[in-house]
Amino acid sequence: MNRSVLQVALDLVELDRAITIAGEAVLGGADWLEVGTPLIKSEGMRAVSALKSAFPDRQIIADMKTADTGAIEVEMAAKSGADIVCVLGASDNSVIAESVRAARKYGVKIMADLISVPNPSGRAGELEQLGVDYICAHTGIDQQMTGTDSLDLLMKVIREVSIPVAAAGGISEKTAPGAIAAGASIVIVGGSIIRSSDVTGSTRRIKEAMNQPVPYAGPDISQEDEIREILRYVSSSNVSDAMHRKGAMSGMIPLCPGTKAVGKAVTVQTFAGDWAKPVEAIDIALPGDVIVINNDKGTHVAPWGELATISCLNRGISGVIIDGAVRDVDDIKKMQYPLWSTAMVPNAGEPKGFGEIGSEIQCGGQTVNPGDWIIADESGVVVIPKTRAYEIARRAKEVYNTELRIRQELKQGKTLSQVMNLLRWEKHS
Ligand SMILES: O=C([C@H](O)CO)[C@H](O)[C@H](O)COP(=O)(O)O
């Protein structure tokens, strides 16, 4: 292959939307069109034939992810119009060999996908020996969410084979030049194009980036900084979607609607109205943290008020969440400080000093540990366990990006039910 190819992965579930998005991507310069696995599962082989009829001059790739009955699946895809069929590199050699035989018979090519292969560099060579036409160094979408880097995999396999290698897995305008510099002949892009509000523009920018290869230097931001960066622009609703409706606190009212808090939790267990530990937590918390307080069901006395809030502002604390009451509401509102509580009351308690800072607490019906991430906005407060914070932030970003595209389709006049094809997916139908 002389020049690098941009393959756009149509990982969608509705054929009509896939064809529209494919058309926009072709306008931006997409060379090859991949009928993504979700689309094949949702629409079957008619998705392959529909894409081929709509775009007869493009190579159509059927991402079958074949793991068994190689010959049958290759035959189906080939007869539906696919030019290239993707099989799982982790499959048994008998599956690969049968796929290759069927491919030769029906005049199509085989791309072997290295997703989840334990020894990718060794396996890539074996797959070449078995006769596959392309190797795909692929980090799956779920793996990407945990921080696995597709270009690391590409670099492990690129020198092991002499057939063309495709790079896939979260590739964007930023990483595409690195894939080409590392030697990829094909760059496969899904989310960065199909979820964009400007599919044509995003495709064009990635194509342009591919023409300026630059060696990949690895991520330019730490995972913690990336979590914070993402949580600053996604919403608590996006995070709740990413967590499959887990993590949302109940009964939390924003004192200053329109404000937002994002940060790591400094937890405080106190007793009704005992404001010593909540206020001491201000000195322990780091700038950017969120103080999360359990006031032991005390809604008649407040462990928090205006003066504590001023201290928080001075220390750069991102916000305060109280399962309990707050007072001095008018003054805090003037400061527009991000604070959520379950009650308001004028009564102050006493600084007795019971309770502790930095232990596991319950807040708004959720368990919160020190270091868990908090995102709070006008919809409410969500706690993200620290062990899954990177993954959840990345998934929330996917939710956010998916909505960018849906919003664009709504602006063009479709209803939400049309975009989502609700009737098709109703449980009782
Ligand atoms: O093959 C893919 C994935 O397994 C879902 O079927 C994607 O097409 C591939 O990962 C490219 O998509 P992005 O990772 O979103 O760029």
Asked whether residue 168 is assigned to any structural domain, the reply reads: yes
User: Residues 124-150, buried b or exposed e (16+ Cβ, 10 A)?
Assistant: bebbbebbbbbbbbbbbbebbbeeebb
Tell me the CATH number at 275: 3.50.30.40
Instruction: Say yes or no: 91 and 234 in one domain.
Output: no
CA 35 to ligand 1 centroid distance, Å: 11
11 lines ligand 1 (CB under 6 A): yes
Instruction: Say yes or no: 354 and 318 in one domain.
Output: yes
Instruction: Say yes or no: 165 and 297 in one domain.
Output: no
Instruction: Indicate the pLDDT class of residue 383, thresholds 50, 70 and 90.
Output: very high
CA 99 to ligand 1 centroid distance, Å: 21
pLDDT at 136: 98
37 lines ligand 1 (CB under 6 A): yes
- Token pair belonging to 130: 């078995």
Nearest in space to 253 (alpha carbons), one of 324, 331, 332:
324
Please check the confidence at residue 356 and state whether its pLDDT lies above 90: yes
Best residue among 7, 11, 85 to mutate for probing ligand 1, ranked by most atoms within 8 Å of CB: 11
Asked whether residue 410 is assigned to any structural domain, the reply reads: no
Please give the average per-residue pLDDT across 368-388, as a whole number. Answer: 98
Of 220, 239, 266, at which residue does a domain stop? 220
Instruction: Say yes or no: 127 and 263 in one domain.
Output: no
Do 140 and 117 contact (CB within 8 A), yes or no? no
Percent of the chain with pLDDT over 90: 95
Please give the average per-residue pLDDT across 321-349, as a whole number. Answer: 97
For residue range 128-155, what is the model confidence (pLDDT) as tens digits? 999 999 999 999 999 999 988 899 999 9
DSSP string, 187-236: EEESHHHHT-S-HHHHHHHHHHHHTS-------SS-HHHHHHHHHHHS-H
pLDDT at 216: 85
168 lines ligand 1 (CB under 6 A): yes
CA 174 to ligand 1 centroid distance, Å: 17
Of 193, 220, 247, at which residue does a domain stop? 220
On the 0-12 / 13-18 / 19+ scale of CB atoms within 10 A, 386 is middle
Count structural domains, the chain. Answer: 2
pLDDT at 217: 84
Nearest in space to 5 (alpha carbons), one of 25, 21, 29:
29
Do 69 and 92 contact (CB within 8 A), yes or no? no
Asked whether residue 307 is assigned to any structural domain, the reply reads: yes
pLDDT at 366: 98
Please check the confidence at residue 220 and state whether its pLDDT lies above 90: no
For residue range 170-202, what is the model confidence (pLDDT) as tens digits? 999 999 999 999 999 999 999 999 999 999 999
Nearest in space to 135 (alpha carbons), one of 116, 118, 160:
160
Q: Are strands 59-66 and 32-35 parallel, antiparallel or unpaired?
A: parallel
pLDDT at 429: 59
Please check the confidence at residue 2 and state whether its pLDDT lies above 60: no
Asked whether residue 363 is assigned to any structural domain, the reply reads: yes
43 lines ligand 1 (CB under 6 A): no
Please give the average per-residue pLDDT across 22-32, as a whole number. Answer: 98
User: Residues 69-91, buried b or exposed e (16+ Cβ, 10 A)?
Assistant: ebbebbbbbbebbbbbbbbbbbb
The atom of ligand 1 lying closest to the CA of 63 is 1
Complex-level ipTM: 0.97
Instruction: Say yes or no: 256 and 117 in one domain.
Output: no
Best residue among 39, 114, 188 to mutate for probing ligand 1, ranked by most atoms within 8 Å of CB: 188
Any bridge partners for residue 321, and if so which? 292, 340
Instruction: Say yes or no: 45 and 118 in one domain.
Output: yes
Instruction: Say yes or no: 241 and 210 in one domain.
Output: no
191 lines ligand 1 (CB under 6 A): yes
SS3 call for 148: coil
The atom of ligand 1 lying closest to the CA of 172 is 16
Instruction: Say yes or no: 98 and 202 in one domain.
Output: yes
pLDDT at 3: 84
Distance between CA atoms of 165 and 178, rounded to whole angstroms? Answer: 14
140 lines ligand 1 (CB under 6 A): yes
Please check the confidence at residue 417 and state whether its pLDDT lies above 70: yes
Instruction: Say yes or no: 135 and 192 in one domain.
Output: yes
36 lines ligand 1 (CB under 6 A): yes
Distance between CA atoms of 18 and 26, rounded to whole angstroms? Answer: 12
Instruction: Say yes or no: 297 and 374 in one domain.
Output: yes
For residue range 33-66, what is the model confidence (pLDDT) as tens digits? 999 999 999 999 999 999 999 999 999 999 999 9
Residue ID of nearest Cα to ligand 1 atom 9: 169
Range of the domain at 122: 5-220
Distances (CA, A) of 324 to 18, 169, 234, 294, 404: 49, 45, 27, 7, 37
Instruction: Say yes or no: 238 and 332 in one domain.
Output: yes
CA 400 to ligand 1 centroid distance, Å: 17
CA 72 to ligand 1 centroid distance, Å: 23
The atom of ligand 1 lying closest to the CA of 139 is 10
For residue range 86-109, what is the model confidence (pLDDT) as tens digits? 999 999 999 999 999 999 999 999
Do 171 and 188 contact (CB within 8 A), yes or no? yes
The atom of ligand 1 lying closest to the CA of 38 is 6
Neighbours of 350 (CB within 10 A): 12
Asked whether residue 374 is assigned to any structural domain, the reply reads: yes
pLDDT at 1: 63
Asked whether residue 178 is assigned to any structural domain, the reply reads: yes
Asked whether residue 231 is assigned to any structural domain, the reply reads: yes
Please give the average per-residue pLDDT across 248-256, as a whole number. Answer: 98
Cβ-based neighbours of 424, under 8 Å, separated by 6 or more: none
CA 415 to ligand 1 centroid distance, Å: 27
Instruction: Say yes or no: 205 and 240 in one domain.
Output: no
18 lines ligand 1 (CB under 6 A): no
Of 220, 251, 278, at which residue does a domain stop? 220
Asked whether residue 419 is assigned to any structural domain, the reply reads: no
28 lines ligand 1 (CB under 6 A): no
Q: Between helices 199-210 and 15-28, what is the axis angle to 10°? A: 50
Cβ-based neighbours of 9, under 8 Å, separated by 6 or more: 34, 36, 63, 168, 188, 189, 190, 194
Query: What's the maximum distance between 2 C-alpha atoms anywhere in the chain?
Result: 84
pTM here is: 0.92
